[in-house]
Structure 1
Amino acid sequence: MKFAKRYQEILMTENFPEQWMICMVQYKKLKKLINPVVDELVNFGLLSLDIEEETTNSSAELDFINKAVSSLQLEAANQSKEKDIILDYEIEGSLEKFSTYVVVDSSDETRYNSIVSVLASPPPEENVTDADCTELTKTENMHKQIKIRLKNDFKFFQLLSNELLLLWALNDKLQEEINKELKFLSTILGTVINPTRKKNDLYIWREIFQLFVESKIFTESPTSKVCNDIKTIQEKFKNFTEKVETEFKVKKRFNLQQSSDFYVKFIHLNQFIIKLIYFYTINQMAIRKILKKFDKQTKLSAQEHFPHLLTDNINSKQYSALISTRGGAGVLSASSKPVILNVSSISRQVVYQFGAILFDIIPHIDDYTCPVCTYISYKPIRLDCGHVFCIRCLIKLQRMGQDGCPLCRQQVVLRACSENLDDKLAEYLKLYFPLETKEKQDLNESELVKERYQRVFKKSSDCVVS
């Protein structure tokens, strides 16, 4: 199936919101604008059988062009064979106002004069526009250059640029909506997990969020990089919901109706985000496909130069969210390639927003464990260096005469006393981790009983009956 038909079917069957559909890439319309560019190049004598025959002489050259690894420097691709004409492509200016040029470098005097004569011929009156101007220069060697400002390719890129602006503006608006919804959900979550309430759902939501993070729905394991494969994202989310509802049995475990309502909203928000990522993924594919088709038919290098035009706007909040370079944001090197529509940034924003706005509301046990015993820091002792340990482990360190902090090695252990007890943290842990605190308390008491028994047993064994 041709991409244009497949693209249209996806957009129609997925039931994207009307607001989104207005911003979709008009693939068919862009495709129709390529033929006038081809005709214009043929009229100028820049796209002829001679050039096509030369490019087919080497499969490496053809691959070089189609992939747009660089501008069309055919001479560099096959230095052993002199070419009579070399095409380069330039796109100058900013996204809102730019110009496109074809730079013709010719060593053939006849070919050069032929192109000049075509350019010297006045076009029909109705076609005379600012885009018809040309610039002619001569190089120091035998080559001569003609810089031609095309008209029809400008129309192509103008439409593509406008659609990119629409997509970026839509993303900004939707990200604001997601952020607003997350903040609303955070208020509900704060209520249902409130540990001061006699009935709350603190522990069940801690389990759900822990599973969500471990599922890495919007990231890839084990690197934690953002995931771009929409099918993978959908499959991970499906597995997450099935496990929550079948293994966790959340509907039966929730103590509050508000938690059930929150869960429904949380699932719907994730479905909305996944649909958004899918929408931008297929639009990204459409842009990549249309630029590839443009290069294939015109023998130019839009795939290389058009993305570089976008990076001129990299400092704009609106643009930087969806433009990236493999060489670093806003930094282009010889090997770096800009990405026109960076779907990864959407996933990255989602991961950050979930963590900063929602997940951080529920404290995680890993942030409050004693580095020595790895249990919760029951009766936490904050040393002068700032590191926190449970009181039981600190006493053991002092008994062994170890003065260095196990984390930073500062000599602060032996001088620690009751003043180092962090009362506020102790109350906080008791409030948000009542089960873990009780477990650690029981463990400490069990150790104390064992130590006392050992001391008594040792004393009794030292007794001598005469």
Structure 2
Amino acid sequence: MKFAKQLEADTENLPEELRQHLIRYKYLKKAISKIVDEMDRRGISASLLSEWLRKSNQHDQNDEDDSLKIQYFFVGEPPDIRTCIRVTYLEDDPRIKQLLSPAKTPGIPLDEQASPLEYRYSKNDTDYFSLSSPPRTDNLNEAASEMKITGRRRSSSSSSKLAKTLLELSINSKQGATTTVSTVKETEETEEIQIIPRQKTLVIELEQDDEFFQMLMRELNQVTSVQQEAKAKFEKDVNNLENRLQALVSEPKKKKSDMYAWRELFRIYMDAQVFQGAHEMDRALRTSQKSRKQMEWFTSELVRTNLIKKISGKESKRAYEQFLALNAELINIRQFQAMNQLAMVKILKKHDKRSGLTASSTFPDLASTDAVFNTKLAKMLYASVTEKLVTVVPQPDDYSCPICMSIAWRPIRLVCGHIFCVRCLIKQQRKRMNNCPVCRHTDAVRLAGADQLDVELQNTITKFFPKEIKEKRKENEREQAIEDVQAMTGRVYSPEQLQRMENQRECAIM
């Protein structure tokens, strides 16, 4: 399947407001045909250009002949850029004629075949030509007669017409002028003068090539504008959903069931790793195809666990639908960015293949396409989801005690900054384990007291984890009861006995 059709097929699922702003691959492909036609009309060989440009770029060490150098480059600043071919050569080098001479087509009159380039101006000992209207035949004849008269003289530093240069090269090649030194005898003096061929520079301005890259720059500017609009809309939607979720979790305790449903939903969402892996070896941003598959797994897991039905409130259901829409929106932005990047790479390769030029190696840096297609945009938007939405409903693991791994009810903040539940610190003090269990700070546990209770953290835990607090209180009461029994009876239960008592807590009948 050709890329143009593949591009249409792969972007069918994109919304219309994004799909209509994709880089128009077919439109640019037609512009490449105009470049090729222009070069063919002027007799520029694409295959020869490609070969010499490749040698110039690779700095071939095996090629000792560096008298001819060709460079393709951009001038100007985006979006107003132009393309040029610069040829540095010795004035008696016949290969210039090979590069620029028209191809002879049987059955077509010579004057109707590809014409020489048109001289535009000279600057800094450099002659500038363009691929515009061809010169008339009578002008070429005048140039030929003039070159026959002055063929042995040193030509001027500025060639007024490329025709002169081509005819001069033709004469020199017939005389075997491939050496770097030639001799001329003066009529009035017997002294022999050595003439060293001068190095000259020829710059060709490619008009259709200019038009192609100006079109491509307009396409890229439009893509950038659409991405910025999508980014602003996405951030606004995230803020709206954040406010809605905060209102939901701040409802009275009798409506806390939705909060626990959202907590489980976010836990499954983070496990799905829709846009980015959780492990160090899998931190790269996922492709849009992979993200869609992970999103499908996420929604199927919600159905399997019957979690959607637990989201009962109207506002909560609206928030759930908005959350799914946000993820779909982010996947679309990611796909829009990736498909545009692929389209740009493909069209530049097509341009280089057909024209023989080397835009693929220089244009991306000039146009700063990394800023347009950088994955930082998608990563930043995904970070806003995880930081602003997922954290609205905190997970118990974020407030657990490092010792018992359950909720840190009545949290005590040690002098080193680590937090433990009060029950675990009491046990540590009884066992005379005076240092912090995490960082080994000296006497951090021994000096802990009621004045180190983190009231603000306790209020947060009370607000978001009422069920966990209730379970923690029951656990503390049970442990206290066992300790009281052991103190009264003098009997000490082994860890195995305590584990059996834990397993038999629930009634087997009820």
| TM-score normalised to structure 2 length | 0.71
Amino acid at match of 1:382: R
Which residue of the partner structure matches residue 314 of structure 1? none
Amino acid at match of 2:209: D
Of 229, 235, 239, the match for 2:293: 235
Amino acid at match of 1:27: Y
Which residue of the partner structure matches residue 356 of structure 2? 299
**What is the CA deviation profile of residues 193-229 of structure 1, one whole-angstrom value per residue up to 9, with x for unaligned ones?**
2253421311100110111111011113534534342
**What is the CA deviation profile of residues 134-174 of structure 1, one whole-angstrom value per residue up to 9, with x for unaligned ones?**
9x9xxx99976544332222111111111111111111111
Of 224, 241, 250, the match for 1:194: 250
Distance in structure 2 (CA, Å) of the matches to 1:282 and 1:39: 29
Which residue of the partner structure matches residue 437 of structure 2? 406
Distance in structure 2 (CA, Å) of the matches to 1:105 and 1:165: 34
Distance in structure 2 (CA, Å) of the matches to 1:254 and 1:176: 29
Equivalent runs, 1:80-119 vs 2, <5 Å? 85-106=68-89, 109-112=93-96, 118-119=116-117
**What is the CA deviation profile of residues 102-147 of structure 1, one whole-angstrom value per residue up to 9, with x for unaligned ones?**
233557811246768945656687699xxxx99x9xxx99976544
Amino acid at match of 1:95: P
Equivalent runs, 1:313-392 vs 2, <5 Å? 323=370, 341-342=373-374, 344-392=375-423
Pair 1:289-2:352 in alignment? no
SS at match of 2:78: coil
Indicate if the aligned counterparts of 1:38 and 1:47 stay in contact, CA closer than 8 A: no
Which residue of the partner structure matches residue 425 of structure 1? 457
SS at match of 1:414: coil
* Structure 2: gaps spanning 5 or more residues: 102-115, 121-129, 136-159, 166-195, 494-510
Distance in structure 2 (CA, Å) of the matches to 1:38 and 1:288: 19
Distance in structure 2 (CA, Å) of the matches to 1:262 and 1:127: 68
**What is the CA deviation profile of residues 218-259 of structure 1, one whole-angstrom value per residue up to 9, with x for unaligned ones?**
1135345343422211111111111112323322x1232221
Which residue of the partner structure matches residue 204 of structure 2? 148
Indicate if the aligned counterparts of 1:74 and 1:86 stay in contact, CA closer than 8 A: no
Indicate if the aligned counterparts of 2:118 and 2:133 stay in contact, CA closer than 8 A: no
Which residue of the partner structure matches residue 268 of structure 1? 325
Indicate if the aligned counterparts of 1:89 and 1:305 stay in contact, CA closer than 8 A: no
Pair 1:3-2:50 in alignment? no
Q: Taking structure 1 as reference, are residues 124 and 247 closer, same or farther at Cα in structure 2, changes over 3 Å only?
A: closer
**What is the CA deviation profile of residues 370-424 of structure 1, one whole-angstrom value per residue up to 9, with x for unaligned ones?**
1222221111001122221111222223233333323333333222211111223
Shift of 1:299: 2.3
Distance in structure 2 (CA, Å) of the matches to 1:363 and 1:5: 46
Indicate if the aligned counterparts of 2:45 and 2:100 stay in contact, CA closer than 8 A: no
SS at match of 2:72: strand
Question: Number of aligned pairs?
Answer: 410
Amino acid at match of 1:175: K
Which residue of the partner structure matches residue 227 of structure 2? 171
Distance in structure 1 (CA, Å) of the matches to 2:238 and 2:451: 41
Amino acid at match of 1:420: Q
Which residue of the partner structure matches residue 225 of structure 1? 283
Pair 1:213-2:270 in alignment? yes
Which residue of the partner structure matches residue 452 of structure 1? 484
Which residue of the partner structure matches residue 13 of structure 2? 14
Larger mean Cα displacement after TM superposition, 215-224 or 284-293: 215-224
Distance in structure 2 (CA, Å) of the matches to 1:5 and 1:434: 57
The higher radius of gyration belongs to 2
Indicate if the aligned counterparts of 1:75 and 1:86 stay in contact, CA closer than 8 A: no
Which residue of the partner structure matches residue 162 of structure 1? 218
Q: Taking structure 1 as reference, are residues 100 and 279 closer, same or farther at Cα in structure 2, changes over 3 Å only?
A: same
Q: Tell me how large the CA RMSD over aligned residues is.
A: 3.5
Q: Taking structure 1 as reference, are residues 179 and 35 closer, same or farther at Cα in structure 2, changes over 3 Å only?
A: same
Indicate if the aligned counterparts of 2:311 and 2:317 stay in contact, CA closer than 8 A: yes
Shift of 1:455: 3.6
Q: Taking structure 1 as reference, are residues 156 and 401 closer, same or farther at Cα in structure 2, changes over 3 Å only?
A: same
